[in-house]
Each structure stands twice: as C-alpha cells, then as structure tokens.
Structure 1
Amino acid sequence: MDISHCTALLRTALDPRSIAIIGASENPNKVGGRPLRFLTQFGFRGKIYPINPKRTETQGLPTWAALEDLPETPDLAIIAVAGQAAFDAIDACGQAGVKIAVVMTGGLTESDPVNGKQKEREMVARAQAHGMRIIGPNSQGIANFGTGAIASFSTMFVEVPPMDGPVGIISQSGAMSVVPYGLLRQRGIGIRHSHATGNDCDVTACEMATIVAEDPALKVLLLYLEGLPDPHRLAQAAAVARERGLFIMAIKSGRTAAGQAAAQSHTGALASEDRVVDAFFRQHGILRAKDMREMVDGVELYLKGWRPRGKRVVAISTSGATCVMAADAIASTGLSLANFSDGTVAKLREALPPIALPNNPIDLTGAMLTDSSLFGRTLKALAAEPGIDAFLTGLPVSGAGYDVPRYSRDAAACIEETQRPFLCSAAQPSVRDAFRAQGVPTFETETDAVQALGRFVAHWGLVESMNRRIAAGCIPYVGVCETLAGEASMLDEAGSLALLAKAKICTIPHQECDSEESAVHAFQAMGGPVVLKGCSASVAHKTELGLVHLDLRDETSVRQAWRDVSAAMQSHGLLPVRAIVARMAKGIHEMMIGAHRDPLFGPVVVFGAGGKYVEALPDVAMLLPPFSREDVKSGLASLRMAPLLQGVRGEPELDVEAFVDSVMRVQDLMADPLQYIDSIDLNPVILRPVGDGCVAVDAVVYRTG
C-alpha cells in the first residue's frame, strides 16, 4: 500500500466525518456501548451509525442492521464483535470502502501467540485486499478530544471527564493509554489524544506517533511501548517533533536481553536490545522514563514554555531539614546548587532576618510566620542573579499564620520577572492548590520536584545535543535498516587486523607464522617481548583454549609456545596450524571498541573500558551512527572510568583524541556497504599517554558475502 495513502488513512482516523459502530449496544457500559455514549456526550460533529441487526434504535440513535444498509460509507468503523464475526465485519468494511477500522476484538496473539498471530495476519490480509487499515486487534480504542472522535471503550473517560489540551498519549496497552490521562487530569492538564493500538498487527504505535506528532496543538507526546518492531517509524515521528518543537517521552517496558542472540562478537553482547533502545532514544531526542510517575511528573514544566539555561538551582524553604534534603536531591540528580554573586549576597543580607544566612539553600526559618513579605523579598533579591537557572521552594508545613496565597502570588511574580523554571514542594494539598492556581508546578516532596526538574533539564540537553549533531551533518537515519544477505563468517585474527589496518586503525605490529622456525624468525625481527597466538577463523576467544602465550622474551620460550599452541590447535581440530607473533604492547589502560549490526536498528558501536572483565564489569557507552567526535567524547565522559583518562595518582593524561579517531573509523567501516561487515570486536585497545596514540592488540571481524 502506498505510504502517502497509508498516512492519509491514519489522518482520517483522527478526524473522521462519520463513524460506524459494528456491535453497537444499548448498554453504555459495554464495549459496543461505550463508544456510542462517548461520541454523543463529547461532541463528535460527524455522523454516527450504530449497527446491530437486533435493534432499530440504540441509545436514542437510529440503528442499521448491516453496514451495506447505511446511506453512506463511513470513514471509520469500530468493530466491537468477537470471533468470526470480527473477520466478517472486516470483509464487510473492506467491501463497503471503509478507510480504517478500530478492532476491539480480543483473544488473538495476546491469548495464543502462535495461532493468534496467524489469525491476525489473515485479518490484515483481508483488510489490505481492499486498501483498508486496521488499528488493533485487542485495541481499547482511539480518542481525539479535539474533534470529539472518541472511538474507545475506556472506563477512564467515564470516571475522569476529558478536557482538550496540549498532551498526546499513544500506547500499545489499553490501560497505559489512560493511566497518564488520569494522572494528568488530576493536575488540571488537558489531553488531546489518547490512543491504544493494541496488538499492532497493522497500524503500530510508532506509525500512529508519526501522525499525532503533526498536531500543532501538541507540546508533549507520551508513549508506552512494549515492543519496538518498527523503530524507523519512531525516528520519523521524532523528525516531525523536532521540526515542531514537540517533546517526546517514552516508557519502553519488557526489558530483555533478546538482542544478545543477534550479536556474534565478544563485545557485541554488551549491546543488548535494551541498551540499543537507550541509544536510539538519545539519538532522536526522546527522553526515556522508567515508569509512569517519571513520565507524567514533569509534563507541566514543558507546558510553561521554559527553556532551561543550565543546571544551577536555588532552594528556599522554611525548614532546615528540607534544605538539606533538597541539596542532596539536587546533587544526586545531576543538577547543582547555584552560587551567588557578591551583589546578590548583599541583597539577601538586607532581605533576610539576622538569624538567616545568605547561603544556598536558603533557610527562611520560622520568620515567615510573622513576616509574610519575607518570601517575596527573598525572591526579589534573587531575581537578577545570573547564576540561577531554576527556583525550588519547599514548604513542608504551612497553615494558620502563614499567608500562603501571598507566597503563591510572589512565586508567580518571580516567574513573570525571570522567565525561569520555578517549582514548589508541599505536603499539604491546600498549599499545592494555592500555588497551582498561580501557575506554579507543584509536588508533594522536594525530591519529586528536583527529579522532575532534572529530567526536564536532561531532556532539553538531549534535544540540544541532537540539534548540534544535525547541524554538523550527522542526520539520524529514518528509513528501514537494511540487513546483510547471507550468513556471517569470522575472519581469522590476521585477516581482521589487516582489514582494520587498511581502515587506518592502529593495530599491533605482527607477523603471521606457519611453522616453529617462522615464529622464531618473527621474534628475532621484532625483538622481545612478544606474544604468540593461534590464528584460526574457527575460534574467536583463544585464551580459554590455551592459544595465547604472553611475554615471550627469548627464542626458547617462543619455541615452547609454538609447540604448545600447535598441540592445542591440533587437539581441537584447528588445522592448518597457524599463529601470529606480535609485539607486547605497553600502555596505561585497556579499552575496547565493538560494533555489530542490529536487525532493527542497524549498526551499533560500543566503546569503553576493555580487558578480560569487560562483560562481567561493563563500563561502556553506545552510539548509533551517524555520530560525531563530540558524541564519542561525551560517551567517554559518562563512563565510571572517565577520571582515569585525565590521569590520576601521577599517571599521565591519556590520548583520548587517538581513541576517538579509532571509534570514528569503526563507524566508517560499519557504514561502508562494500565492506559487508556484520560485527567488529577490538579488545583490548591499549590507550597510551597524550601523543602516543592507542593500538588494537586483538581483533575479531565477522563479514557476510
């Protein structure tokens, strides 16, 4: 089906001129009754056609016996019947020319992964034969509160009345399409879209996101994903969002290590499916949330139009304990306490009572109980401070004697004057209500507030990093990733090192040997110490088989190493016997660079701390091409070992630039269609002091074709 036609059909689903409900029910609390109730209750402007052969009227609307009896072909059909009747309804819709159907029918893949999947394929084939799209099956429905097109049976819309607003929600789960709706409505935030795509047998959540992201009313798009079979669609949605200034947050649940099975290289196993998803989200400026609370807590910050200038926060409270906990939360979230200029300190000394210190956090003490102007004076003293990027006030206890309405007005005035983020934490609902009424985002605890602010600032950082990368020419790929044809086969170490050397990646000087005498000659040519390693395209990891002998310093030890390696290779059937003799590399730290081709996301590059414990104690960063040198440096800075790269305890600063060069060249190799590389494993890469470069001493490359 033509892509532009598919897109047009999805747009129709969000703003149809007419809707048919197949299986319409008089009972507004049944699956076939809820959509009918919602369409009439929430102001759908189009035609509504209930279909039920047993009725002539349903919930006060004329009812038809069959789809073919309707006076026109509806744009959208809701299929709320079970079993074979659902398949018959799809046939009827296709024959009638319906453009898109929301299939609420369950009991397919979610109940029987094998037979259910086959039935879903049959369902899609029947629809596509007529040029029709399917949302579902097992879909709770879709809801556009901007148009009143509520093709859903969710109980949430009964319990929590809708209000149109700047937030969109798309979920593969019915429940998770409305849980954030309920949480945000409690905060007075309106929702424009709430769509549950169900089993995604045709229209997927990511494809729906490409259309919803076009809505000019949206400022935030929330996604709940259990699977990500079409990341290119999400990449397209992110590209639309980038053009519009729309922020996307996502929960990707179902975290598994299934992606490891696709990785043949030693370090490719570090690039598990979940880690690749993280890298993909970062590349496209999508903030990943761990749970629903993380995703919804900071939504209001985006709606204020704030653009954080940095990470420096001032915390103000009436409690010393709250000040301490706020400081801890700020430090643990990656934010920092703002430092005050001398001018600001002087203003604070004038504003604060003698017992309060002009330090950050600012403890206003119990003086606020007798001086209602203290809070406002303090904010006024801080407003012109250029070193403050955000304000946090914590009011753990307020009530009789505290002029909370005045405090909230003072906070609103500070926001108006500074145009910087301002958050309030308060345990009492009445205090939060007062601040919320003045447009101040509120939270129950200072930790909740700081964490929401931290995620907001981090998300802006992701987006700005993405924009810089794009400006430098590293434009994220939004197409379907091509897979290499054929089965991948391993090059032996000599072949792997030769390929890398040709790509200008610094590799250890070595000679390939096929006899004891040639090994001795290689040693004599290089001088000691050397390493002797068995060389076979059948073995990736040689140490476990006794094929690696280190620190050989004389001819006798080289001869013995050859004999031991030769015997080991023969015992394992690794013939003919071949080995490489290489210089022992000296350096400061062992690093690694790995890459593999993910079947969904394409090339993935991993780099970081190397050596034999790389899998047991992983300390690596991951990037998806195309990426820049700055991306690599940022990845290195995120590692636990990052301080070691600058030199510690008398060690010299290391040649990070040379290591970045190697990572960039591995990226180029993976991107070169003529190389047919499936995976690369460089471990260890010996990193040396600045000016001395780095060198790959062990390499495994898999190629196809």
Structure 2
Amino acid sequence: MTASLQAALDPSAIAVIGASENPDKIGGRPLLYLSRFGFRGEVWPVNPRRDEVQGRRTVPHLSALSRAPDLAIIAVPGEAAVAALDECAEIGVKVAIMMASGFGETADPEAKAAERAMVARARARGLRMIGPNSQGLANFGTGAVASFSSMFLEVEPQDGPVGIVSQSGAMSVVPYGLLRGRGIGVRHAHATGNDADVTVCELAAAVAADPGLRLLLLYLESIPDPHHLAQAAAIARDRGLPIVALKAGRTAAGQAAARSHTGALANEDRLVDAFLEQHGIWRAQDTTDLVAAAELYLKGWRPEGRRMVAISNSGATCVMAADAASTAGLDLAPLGDETQARLRAILPSFAATRNPVDITAALMTNSALFSQILPVIAEDPSADAFLVGVPVAGRAYAVDDFGRDTAAFAAATGKPVVIVAPQELVAAPFRSRGLPVFSGEGEAVRALHQFIAHHERIAAAGGRPPPPAPPPPSEAALRLLDEAESLALLARAGVPVVRHRRCRTADEAVAAAETIGGPVAVKGCSAEVAHKSELGLVHLGVSGEEAVRAAFEACRAGLAKAGHAPTGVIVAAMARGRRELVLGAHRDPFFGPVVVVGDGGTYVEAMPDVALLLPPFTQAEVRRALGRLRIAPLIAGVRGEAPWAIEPYLAAAVAVGELMTMEPRIASLDVNPMLVGTEPGDCLALDAVVFGDGLPSP
C-alpha cells in the first residue's frame, strides 16, 4: 500500500478542487505554495465559476481534464467534498487530500458513517484518501506543498534531512518551526487528519523510505495500525534513520481530548510504550522533547557507551552536569590515571581532573587551555560522550577559539559532544561549527541521554520483523476452559505446571492424593468459574482419605450452590517457592497478542507491578522487563537470600508469547500464581484460566 503513496509525495500533476484567487483561503493557499516553492509538475485549478485563478487557467470539473492527476486537493466543504472524492475515484486519481472537516472527528454517528462509506467507495476504485480534516502534505524536496498551513509564510522553508508526519495539522508544523529556528532544514511536513484511509503509520512508512532523510519525527494521538508503524521502523532501521515519536494521550483526559480531536480510538498507554521500545522508536514527552536532540542525530555519530566526561570553566556547571548525568543514567567514569597526570601538568594545581574536569577561572587568563586539554581527553579510552560547558565568557575570552578547538575535538574523537552556553555570544562560535548547543546542563544531558539510549534501543530492535496485521475480531462466543484444560494447554506449550489430576469421583480423588503424595490441594473445577476462592472451592494442605473425601464433596456442593456445572475436582501437589508471580496474556484489537509478566498473588489487581511484552520476544527481553519492576531487587536476592531461579519463568513467558501468536483462538489467559523459588524445579504454574473463541468443548 505504501508504494501508492509516492503519488502524494512526488506527484507529476496536482488538481486543486475549490481553487481560490485568495491565497489566504484554504483553496488558495496550496496554489500559492505550489508556485512559490518550485513544484515542477502540472497544476490544474478546478473552479466552475472562474476562468482563471492566481494566473492559472481553470477547468469547471475534473472530467474536463485531459488526464487524471496523481494528486487531488479537495478544498470544498461538506457534501461537495464527498462528491469531489467520488469524482476523483471515477476518473482515476491516485490520491486525494480531503481538507473538509465534520466527519469522523465529530461525535455524530451519521458523520462517522458517511466517512466510512466514502472511504469504502474510494478504496473500491483504487483511490487512496488522506483526511478528512487534513491540513495537507508538504514535500519541500519536490515542491509538492499541498497544504494550507500559514506556518510556511511565517517561517521560510528549506529542504533538509528531517521529516515530520503527524495526525494533527498544528503538530505537523510546530516542530517544523522549532527546527527551522535552529537552522535545520525540513523536507516533509505532513498532516493526515482523521486517518480514515491513509493513516499516520502508513504515511510514515512511505516517508521513511526517502533516502534524503536522517531523522523522522512523528506526532500520534493513536496508533491505528501498528503493523504499518512497525514497517516504518523496520525501513528506518535498515537505513539508519532514527524515529522519535510524540504519542499524546498518556492520561484518560488526554485520550478523551484525542478522541474529540481526530476521532481516533485511544491505545492503552503501557502497550504504546512496549510497542515503541520493541521497534526502536524513541518516545518523546512533549513538543520540546520531540526536537531536543535533533542536532545530535543529524551529526551522524554512533555512540558506543554511556560514559560521559564533563568539561567546564565553572565548578557549578561541573556539579550540575554530574547531577544531571546521574539522574539520566549516564556514568561519569573517572578519566584514566595517565590522562589525569597529563591534565595536571597543563591545568592549575587547584583544577579538578578526575571527571568532571574543572578548568577554573584560569581560562580567562589563558584561553589556550581549551586547545591544550581537549586533545589529551580525546585519547582517553574511558569516555563515550562529552559535555563542554562555558556558562559565562566575555571580552577576555577567545570564544571563537573555543568553538574551533571543540569542533576539532569532536571530529577527532567521532564521539557525541554537547555544548552548554547560555550566552549567545558564547554559543554562536560552537553553533556555527555545527555543534549541538543548549542553554542548560539538564537539557543538554537529557538530549545526550536520549541520543545514546535511543541507539541502544535501535540496536536491540535490529532484525525484528514487522508483525502481521491483527486478524479481525471473531464472531464466535468466548468460552472458558476449566482449570484442567487450561493447565493441559499450557503444559503442551512448554509451561511447567504443578502435578495434578482431574477427578470425577471421591474415590478418584483419594487415589490421586495417594499417588501425588500428601498433603494436596483440592479445588473445584468448572468451565463456568474463573475465580474459585470466593466460592470456597479451594482447600489447601489436605491430608488423609477422610479429609480428601470431605474436600471433594465440599467442592461439589459449592459449585452446585452457586449454580455452576462441575467438570470434576482438581487434586494437585502442594508446592513451595519464594514468590508468586503472574504470567498472563490477552489479544489487543490493535497490537495483537500482549503478554503480562511480573508480581502475582492475591493482590495483583490492587497493587500491580507488571510489565507488558509484545511477541515475538526473547528471554533476555523478559529479564529486562522484570528488571524495571519494583520486585527487581528481590530477584537477585536481598539480605543474604539466594537469588531466584528465574530462567524457567523467562522460558515460560516466551512460550506463552509463542502460544498466543500461533493460536489466534485464544483471547486471554491468566496463570496466577506461577511459583518461583531458588531451584529451577520450583517454577510451576499452580492455577490457570484460558478464554477463547471457537475453542473445542471439553
């Protein structure tokens, strides 16, 4: 599908339906831009009431054209826009941008239905649509600026290595303005609007293939088709193109606002985090964060580690840089002994040489200190990235030399360098030489951390295939497997389960208890009960024939009292371990299979400490996910306790992910508790519940 979008990004001919003489109207702005920004193809204004618009001859309707344009801009409202889209489909237009509003972004069910119907008609005839409610597309590489944004009049465009794809019109151009204000050229600035047909994810995949891009920025209010976004990420990884995404709607209030803005369905935010991380996409927190590290990405550096060296003529800058690095997770490793000795031979005796390196105010009387120490630090193998801070300088300082020497230092090391220089007088010599400049230590370190951590994420995601589109929801009724069926299903998938037996009679229960060896657990079993404890259907530590018979009858009576049909009684071994964990999974309508790992037991809903993973994933990824939870210190062992034998649990999580991928009839499963201990054999699923559609009856 993404190949068809090249007609929108690089069209040979564009028709403007509703073309206006007034360049400040929606139908006039694209005509102005196509002339001003060098579009080399044909432009055909469509206006039945004028013979000429902005110096171009018009046609009264599309059918009067000698051939179908690749791209049509629909700049008329309401029913006229719907009719224009149908006409585009009739004559063979490849892509249409519908700028009209009042469709799926509203709360009106009839408007939503009209949107779905017109998309279906267009797709049936091979027409792709961007919008409705779209501000338009802008490709400054080809001059195909099919947009009505006023930003391009306020901030002069310049083709460059950055692309922006957004569901929001404003957020397609706000980052553009911020980047242009920093002298960075932008090639793509696209707004998809309602995503009724072409989604922000699909357009991102098409833009990611542009060989001229070195950074792709996304603004998302929902992720309507994760498989296309995964495809975009795979294309970008193959090309070495970082993707930074601002996904709004982290909170319930934000999700409600997003629905009213674009009509988008909200995605569960933890799933969004898991998905973006899995595919090597960095998630920005706000608009400033979206563009904060742009210069770092565009330098082409490839970070090799997290060890940062801070260099400044201010002790305060050194301290604040150290605090910021510690908060961000960057390591201020000491410079090597030989490096420190060489620095002490250059700097005053009261200077700090360990890391941070404090040049002190001696820089005022000897500006050459910069050029003398930087080559020394460049040779130290314990540094992966650098922060150079010059908070204050003036007439007595050779600030141009500082910029020259630092640029030479960055070129010599090939490692990331950020500059902290709040004074424009000081910042200018660094910025003019292409170095990333920030006004404060915190923002510089956060950008550096993002850049380093993002490359780690991209490396971890390398080689991951894009997932298939989730299958449509099944119409079959969901059915609960009873505990015995659920445990059997998991055992076949490779999950270790407790020794157990389903028993139909009290005599079978007694025989099972004798075989398993007491004491045992006796539990009621029914395909109508997901939670047994509340009904008194769980009896633990049962010993002896009489007690087993009594527990069996109590389970049967409890099920009968609650009106549930029994499928037997489970007799299971009692197991001991260190901790009860949870292992669950469900099928998300957008992201497909989702696996839940983390702390379990009775209070898992009240005090959740879990992480989400999207298959396929590895045991190493499960381990990293557990490492971010509150229980992480317990896994390694505390206060002299032995560490948990967690490997069987990791393998079980991978097995559940594979099961959910291979068996689409499973809607959800819950293994709680799953016991872990200090020995591999301690890892056992003690109880399980599986829901499915179309699963076979017992």
Does residue 128 of the first structure (1) align with residue 95 of the second (2)?
A: no
Is the CA contact (8 Å cut-off) linking 1:335 and 1:454 kept in structure 2? yes
- Number of residue equivalences: 682
Shift of 1:183: 1.0
Does residue 502 of the first structure (1) align with residue 497 of the second (2)?
A: no
Q: Which residue of 2 aligns with 1:597?
A: 587
For 1:84 and 1:482, locate their aligned partners in 2 and report how far apart those are by CA, in whole Å: 31
Shift of 1:523: 4.0
For 1:53 and 1:36, locate their aligned partners in 2 and report how far apart those are by CA, in whole Å: 16
Is the CA contact (8 Å cut-off) linking 1:481 and 1:600 kept in structure 2? no
Counterpart pick for 1:512 among 502, 516, 531: 502
Shift of 1:704: 2.6
Q: Which residue of 1 aligns with 2:690?
A: 701
Per-residue CA distance 1:320-354 (angstroms, 9 max, x = gap): 23222211221221221122111111122122211
Q: Which residue of 2 aligns with 1:116?
A: 111
Q: Which residue of 1 aligns with 2:640?
A: 650
1:343-422 equivalences in 2 (<5 Å): 343-422=338-417
For 1:522 and 1:75, locate their aligned partners in 2 and report how far apart those are by CA, in whole Å: 73
For 1:99 and 1:499, locate their aligned partners in 2 and report how far apart those are by CA, in whole Å: 49
Is the CA contact (8 Å cut-off) linking 1:475 and 1:626 kept in structure 2? no
Is the CA contact (8 Å cut-off) linking 2:138 and 2:190 kept in structure 1? yes
For 1:618 and 1:385, locate their aligned partners in 2 and report how far apart those are by CA, in whole Å: 45
For 1:65 and 1:205, locate their aligned partners in 2 and report how far apart those are by CA, in whole Å: 32
Q: Which residue of 2 aligns with 1:492?
A: 482
Amino acid at match of 2:613: L
Q: Which residue of 2 aligns with 1:268?
A: none
Counterpart pick for 2:193 among 174, 189, 198: 198
Q: Which residue of 2 aligns with 1:659?
A: 649
Counterpart pick for 1:47 among 42, 45, 59: 42
Amino acid at match of 2:666: I
**SS of corresponding position for 2:345:** helix
Is the CA contact (8 Å cut-off) linking 2:527 and 2:567 kept in structure 1? no
Shift of 1:586: 0.9
Q: Which residue of 1 aligns with 2:260?
A: none
Is the CA contact (8 Å cut-off) linking 1:257 and 1:272 kept in structure 2? no
For 2:267 and 2:683, locate their aligned partners in 1 and report how far apart those are by CA, in whole Å: 27
Q: Which residue of 2 aligns with 1:266?
A: none
Structure 2 residue runs without a partner (length 5+)? 254-265
1:179-198 equivalences in 2 (<5 Å): 179-198=174-193
**SS of corresponding position for 1:576:** coil
Q: Which residue of 2 aligns with 1:677?
A: 666
Q: Which residue of 1 aligns with 2:440?
A: 445
1:239-638 equivalences in 2 (<5 Å): 239-255=234-250, 273-467=268-462, 470=463, 475-481=465-471, 486-515=476-505, 518-552=508-542, 558=548, 561-562=551-552, 564-576=554-566, 578-638=568-628
Q: Which residue of 1 aligns with 2:258?
A: none
Shift of 1:185: 0.8
CA 1:129/1:493 → structure 2, altered by over 3 Å: closer, same or farther?
A: closer
For 2:541 and 2:368, locate their aligned partners in 1 and report how far apart those are by CA, in whole Å: 76
Is the CA contact (8 Å cut-off) linking 1:109 and 1:115 kept in structure 2? no
Counterpart pick for 2:101 among 101, 106, 111: 106
Per-residue CA distance 1:182-216 (angstroms, 9 max, x = gap): 11111111111011111111111111112111110
Is the CA contact (8 Å cut-off) linking 1:256 and 1:273 kept in structure 2? no
For 1:9 and 1:532, locate their aligned partners in 2 and report how far apart those are by CA, in whole Å: 61
For 1:572 and 1:691, locate their aligned partners in 2 and report how far apart those are by CA, in whole Å: 39
Shift of 1:153: 0.5
Q: Which residue of 1 aligns with 2:261?
A: none
CA 1:485/1:112 → structure 2, altered by over 3 Å: closer, same or farther?
A: closer
**SS of corresponding position for 2:187:** strand
For 2:634 and 2:345, locate their aligned partners in 1 and report how far apart those are by CA, in whole Å: 46
Tell me the TM-score normalized by structure 1.
0.91
Shift of 1:72: 4.4
Does residue 140 of the first structure (1) align with residue 129 of the second (2)?
A: no
Amino acid at match of 2:268: E
Shift of 1:45: 1.2
Is the CA contact (8 Å cut-off) linking 1:514 and 1:578 kept in structure 2? yes
CA 1:321/1:618 → structure 2, altered by over 3 Å: closer, same or farther?
A: farther
1:30-41 equivalences in 2 (<5 Å): 30-41=25-36
Amino acid at match of 2:684: V
CA 1:525/1:92 → structure 2, altered by over 3 Å: closer, same or farther?
A: closer
For 2:421 and 2:38, locate their aligned partners in 1 and report how far apart those are by CA, in whole Å: 38
Shift of 1:478: 4.2
Shift of 1:219: 1.0
For 2:545 and 2:444, locate their aligned partners in 1 and report how far apart those are by CA, in whole Å: 68
Tell me the TM-score normalized by structure 2.
0.92
Between 532-541 and 54-63, the greater mean CA deviation after superposition: 54-63
Structure 1 residue runs without a partner (length 5+)? 259-270
Between 27-36 and 660-669, the greater mean CA deviation after superposition: 660-669
For 1:394 and 1:11, locate their aligned partners in 2 and report how far apart those are by CA, in whole Å: 45
For 1:129 and 1:563, locate their aligned partners in 2 and report how far apart those are by CA, in whole Å: 62
**SS of corresponding position for 1:74:** coil
CA-based RMSD of the aligned residues comes to 2.4
Between 557-566 and 333-342, the greater mean CA deviation after superposition: 557-566
For 1:409 and 1:90, locate their aligned partners in 2 and report how far apart those are by CA, in whole Å: 57
Is the CA contact (8 Å cut-off) linking 2:19 and 2:31 kept in structure 1? yes
Is the CA contact (8 Å cut-off) linking 1:603 and 1:625 kept in structure 2? yes
For 1:556 and 1:400, locate their aligned partners in 2 and report how far apart those are by CA, in whole Å: 96
Is the CA contact (8 Å cut-off) linking 2:527 and 2:566 kept in structure 1? no
Is the CA contact (8 Å cut-off) linking 1:315 and 1:391 kept in structure 2? yes
Amino acid at match of 1:645: I
For 1:238 and 1:110, locate their aligned partners in 2 and report how far apart those are by CA, in whole Å: 27
Shift of 1:273: 2.5
Shift of 1:632: 2.2
Shift of 1:490: 1.2
Is the CA contact (8 Å cut-off) linking 2:160 and 2:187 kept in structure 1? yes
Shift of 1:152: 0.2
For 2:223 and 2:573, locate their aligned partners in 1 and report how far apart those are by CA, in whole Å: 46
For 1:272 and 1:695, locate their aligned partners in 2 and report how far apart those are by CA, in whole Å: 33
Does residue 686 of the first structure (1) align with residue 675 of the second (2)?
A: yes
Shift of 1:566: 4.1
Shift of 1:363: 2.2
Amino acid at match of 1:407: F
For 2:471 and 2:565, locate their aligned partners in 1 and report how far apart those are by CA, in whole Å: 38
Shift of 1:179: 1.0
Is the CA contact (8 Å cut-off) linking 1:79 and 1:104 kept in structure 2? yes
Amino acid at match of 1:595: A
**Off by >6 Å, runs of 4+ in structure 1:** none
For 1:42 and 1:200, locate their aligned partners in 2 and report how far apart those are by CA, in whole Å: 27
Between 179-188 and 556-565, the greater mean CA deviation after superposition: 556-565
For 1:365 and 1:481, locate their aligned partners in 2 and report how far apart those are by CA, in whole Å: 64
Shift of 1:239: 2.1
Is the CA contact (8 Å cut-off) linking 1:356 and 1:364 kept in structure 2? yes
Shift of 1:395: 2.6
For 2:626 and 2:488, locate their aligned partners in 1 and report how far apart those are by CA, in whole Å: 27
Is the CA contact (8 Å cut-off) linking 1:683 and 1:697 kept in structure 2? yes
Between 420-429 and 113-122, the greater mean CA deviation after superposition: 113-122
Per-residue CA distance 1:350-408 (angstroms, 9 max, x = gap): 22211112121222222222221222322222101111000012233333323222211
Shift of 1:603: 1.7
Amino acid at match of 1:140: Q
